[in-house]
Structure 1
Amino acid sequence: MSEEQQRILKAQLWKMACEMRGNMNASDFMNFGLGLIFYKYLSERIEMFINDQLQNDNTDFRTVWAEGNEDIKQELRNVAIEDIGYFLEPEYLFSTLSADAKDGKFILEALGQSFKHIEDSTLSADSEDDFQNLFDDVDLTSAKLGKTADDKNKLISSLLLALDEVDFCLKDTEIDILGDAYEYMIGEFAAGAGQKAGEFYTPQQVSKVLAQIVTVGRERVRNVYDPTCGSGSLLLSVAKEGFAEFIYGQEKNPTTYNLARMNMLLHNRRYDKFEIRSGDTLEDDQFENEVFDAIVANPPFSAQWSADSKFNTDDRFSRAGALAPKSKADYAFILHMIHHLHDGGTMACVAPHGVLFRGASEGKIRRYLIETKNYIDAIIGLPANLFYGTSIPTCILVLKKCRKEGDDVLFIDASKGFEKVKTQNKLLPEHIEKIVNTYKSRAEIEKYSHKATIEEIAENDFNLNIPRYVDTFEEEEEIDIKAVMAEIKTLEAKRSELDKQIDVYLKELGLVF
């Protein structure tokens, strides 16, 4: 029943979004749509939590608040903030405001106050960092909502009323119904956001590959980290695969940073079991002294960074003997991640193919990782056109610190295993399974995978371009020239005979050309 509820919820939410956004583009509307879904979730969760606390007293949240006993109110506030991280009074709940919207009341001011009350309730609490400025991108004064205050109120009211008809199924604990529906919404918005989508979303099938690889051989990972976490979907995939107890991430874009925190809470991650921080990972490392069991990332491809000389003495980069070029930060992200990797951990990141063969400083870093440190465990080539906003083929780099001398590097060419869906290529479950199983077994499969020794890679001047190691050349079938010529003569004879028959028919019809 839960999976059917999930399907229905996804359809309802997306239908609502398509109907309500009007002329607003997908990326602009995303902040309002997802923000209000999150507000409804927080409202329903606090109401359900308080009612559960009062169950043995034969009363409920609204009744207790109407009675006005301040001691009981304070006790309930404290319990809620300790357990779920925040509090919201009944007058600011979604159900209260949606009822006012149904009556045609002006609700924009009350809605803004509701957002503020949620954030203010966490001040000086352990959950403060997870809730502060969380609704900054739900700008209720934005001209995108309408010209006048009444226009804005009308649109927001219609959104609340549409959401009021949707059952979030919060009491169904069999599967994460709302969390998965929220992920679905982010994915659908990404599909319509074009180039911007790459800033906040990694396609689910790619997330699954990364998640399964970094959890190979482990039933549980203590923690997982993503230095460019976007909406957090990749982190949540690892948590689902490896039962990660703690989640850590950093995100540069303020809007996406808020989306990641919402995503964590909507997936029922306790506020004290995740830490998403804001800032530029390379310039302002928020987890300077931390190491992690699993690291996953889909960093921006060939992004610019400062490559400032100060990084020559930064422990993350200094040992490699060179900095990634200003115009291509790919290896800066890779070195940053390996610096934060626990000695027994695994990291897997998506990168453009250029990291496999580009020379100059990138060639020096690549050689350092292979020859000096022996960190590179596998290179996996992915199909082109998997990611929103770019059609380039990409690869996955898998790195470990615990590799032994003599260990080979596994090359997998999975570039041909995909299904085309509309304008996007997608990995099907069987494609994911083949990639992961090949990585686990380190099997050599003709035209698919190869185990290369360090000596073999050195002979290729530390170039990791996959075709150098996996021969995918398909021999064309030999052509029998004599048979082809004989067939041509037969066809010519048949054509000549047909021409004669056509001439007879034309003469019978009195037509002569």
Structure 2
Amino acid sequence: MSEHKQELEKRLWAIANELRGNMGADEFRDYILGFIFFKFLSEKMEKFALAELDGEIEKYSDIEKDPELLEELREEAVESLGYFIEPKYLFHNLAERAKNKELIIEDLSKALKLVEESALGHESEHEFAGLFEDVDLTSTKLGRTVEQKNRLISEVIKHLDEINFGFDDTEMDVLGDAYEYLIGEFAAGAGKKAGEFYTPQQVSKILSKIVTLGKERIKSAYDPTCGSGSLLLRVAKESNVSHIYGQELNTTTYNLARMNMILHGVKFADFDIEQGDTLEEDRHVGRTFEAVVANPPFSANWSADQTFLSDERFSAYGKLAPKTKA
């Protein structure tokens, strides 16, 4: 493990513990992970803009003087990255305003919404739709008044802004792995709830090695109960996976899985994570996969409707799982 990666993991976890106050770890998780992801998207956007407009602008903010050029960049960014962020809504610029004790919470909320909206009507729409819906900046968990909410959020933003995510690090997965580390730490703190969104790395590693044994490339990998996507990403580490598929029931965890994919450098066109109950409504019905992995929620509830006896997934057994042991 690189020193930068270790330091990044320690600092991010320290921020999470220092600033969550009386909020439960699983409640604060959605905010800290959401902001880390937004900072990542912002830095990636700025880097992309400067590379695309090499020589035409010195700073990304200069593009605001040329609306036509801004629109051209918007189209190129959405096609390549899957989203677009204007200079004034970049994470760093909002953090600078937070340092000046400005009220940023409304613009931050708008910035997150604009990321999602920028993908509307494009190939990446499904991957970015509702991605930040769990980062509720109006929640009373953050404080009773707008000022209290703004104060807490500003502290988180300022602390994260000081951290170098190391985009130029030779280990391309440094931030993705640090994100994965945080997910694991939050899972450990959540106790029994952990299984809803995270498979321990030791388990992921064994399962991944089994399904990729002797294979340098896998056309498709699928997890019908994918949680935050950690198991699928482990498969992708063990072998070159062309396309990743998954399904997750919990909406919050579904959003986390999509963020996790993008943070690990999986392009929006190369993964398809669906939201819903795989047993009740298989969103990938009829599709076959080269590798299938899962850490199923064995004690989950389901309808156990008798009509499922004619479903090809269960018909061979002549019996359905109990309602409380899906």
Task: Give the TM-score taking structure 1 as reference length.
Answer: 0.62
Query: What is aligned with 2:159?
Result: 162
Cα shift at 1:58? 5.3
**In the TM superposition, what whole-angstrom CA distance separates every residue of 1:349-382 from its partner, at most 9, and x where no partner exists?**
xxxxxxxxxxxxxxxxxxxxxxxxxxxxxxxxxx
User: Which protein has the bigger strand share?
Assistant: 1
Q: Is the 8 A contact 1:92 1:111 kept in 2?
A: yes
The counterpart of 2:314, out of the listed 289, 314, 317, is 317
1:231-280 per-residue CA deviation (whole Å, 9 max, x = no partner) reads 00000000110111111000000000000001011111100000111000
In 1, distance between residues paired with 2:60 and 2:123? 24
Query: What is the CA–CA distance in structure 1 between the aligned matches of 2:316 and 2:82, rounded to whole Å?
Result: 42
**Take 2:278 and 2:126, find their aligned partners in 1: how far apart are those partners?**
18
Query: 1:200–1:230: 8 Å Cα contact kept in structure 2?
Result: yes
Pair 1:102-2:111 in alignment: no
Give deviations 1:285-336, integer Å, cap 9, x for gaps. 000011000011111123221111111111111122222222322xxxxxxx
Query: Partner of 1:244: helix, strand, or coil?
Result: strand
SS in 1 for 2:61: helix
The answer on whether the counterparts of 1:219 and 1:243 sit within 8 Å (CA) in structure 2 is yes
Is the CA contact (8 Å cut-off) linking 2:57 and 2:63 kept in structure 1? no
Counterpart check, 1:199 vs 2:196 = yes
Aligned partners of 2:285 and 2:55: how far apart in 1? 47
Map of 1:31 onto structure 2? 30
- Structure 1 position 254 matched with structure 2 position 251: yes
Unaligned runs of 5+ in 2: none
Equivalent in the alignment of 1:86: 83
Between the aligned partners of 2:319 and 2:185, the Cα distance in structure 1 is 40
Question: Is the 8 Å Cα contact of residues 134 and 252 (structure 2) preserved in structure 1?
Answer: yes
CA contact (8 A) 2:300 2:324 kept: yes
> Retained in 2: the 8 A contact 1:54–1:60?
no
Distance 1:306 1:296 in 2: 24
2:124 is aligned to 127
Distance in 1 (CA, whole Å) between partners of 2:78 and 2:221 is 25
Q: What is the SS of the residue equivalent to 1:211?
A: helix
Q: Contact conserved, 2:303 with 2:323, CA < 8 A, in 1?
A: yes
1-structure distance, mates of 2:27, 2:57: 45
Check conservation: 1:231, 1:260, Cα contact below 8 A. Answer: yes
- What is the aligned partner in structure 1 of residue 14 from structure 2? 15
| Conserved? CA contact 1:50–1:60, under 8 Å | no
The within-5 A match list for 1:318-357 is: 318-329=315-326
Q: Partners of 1:327 and 1:5 in 2: how far apart?
A: 45
Q: Does 1:113 align with 2:110?
A: yes
Distance 1:322 1:185 in 2: 40
Deviation at 1:57, TM superposition (A): 3.2
SS in 2 for 1:136: coil
Structure 1 gap segments, 5+ residues each: 330-513
What residue number does 2:283 align with?
286
**Identity across the alignment (%):** 55
Q: Tell me what 2:53 maps to.
A: 54
Name the aligned partner's letter for residue 103 of structure 2: F
Aligned to 2:62: 63
Q: How much does 1:173 deviate?
A: 4.0
Distance 1:52 1:207 in 2: 37
- Which of 197, 215, 218 aligns to 2:215? It is 218
- 8 Å Cα contact 1:168/1:178 also seen in 2: yes
Structure 1: how far apart are the matches of 2:10 and 2:201?
Answer: 18
SS in 2 for 1:118: helix
1:447-491 deviations in Å (ceiling 9; x for gaps): xxxxxxxxxxxxxxxxxxxxxxxxxxxxxxxxxxxxxxxxxxxxx
Matched, 1:147 2:144: yes
Where does residue 40 of structure 1 map in the other structure?
39
Q: Which residue of 2 aligns with 1:240?
A: 237
Give RMSD over aligned pairs.
1.2
Q: 2:187 aligns with which of 182, 187, 190?
A: 190
Q: Matches of 1:247 and 1:207 in 2, distance apart?
A: 15
Do structure 1's residue 208 and structure 2's residue 205 form an aligned pair? yes
1:230 is matched with 227
* 4+ residue segments displaced more than 4 Å: none
1:269 and 1:60 map into 2 onto residues whose CA distance is 28
> In structure 2, the residue corresponding to 1:223 is in which secondary structure?
strand
The alignment partner of 1:287 has SS state of: coil
Letter in 2 for 1:115: L
Distance in structure 2 (CA, Å) of the matches to 1:58 and 1:156: 32
Amino acid at match of 2:216: E
- Residue 403 of structure 1 corresponds to which residue in structure 2? none
Q: Secondary structure at the match of 2:290?
A: strand
Give 1:219 deviation, angstroms: 1.1
Shift of 1:56: 3.9
Match of residue 276 from structure 1: 273
State the secondary structure of the residue aligned to 2:23: coil
Judge conservation of contact 1:51–1:60 (CA < 8 Å) in 2: yes
2:98–2:157 Cα contact (<8 Å) kept: yes
SS of corresponding position for 2:222: strand
Please report how far the alpha carbon of residue 80 of structure 1 lies from its aligned counterpart in structure 2 after TM superposition: 0.6
- Bigger shift: residues 52-61 or 167-176: 52-61
CA displacement at 1:192 relative to structure 2: 0.7
Q: Partner letter of residue 52 of structure 1?
A: A
Matched, 1:304 2:301: yes
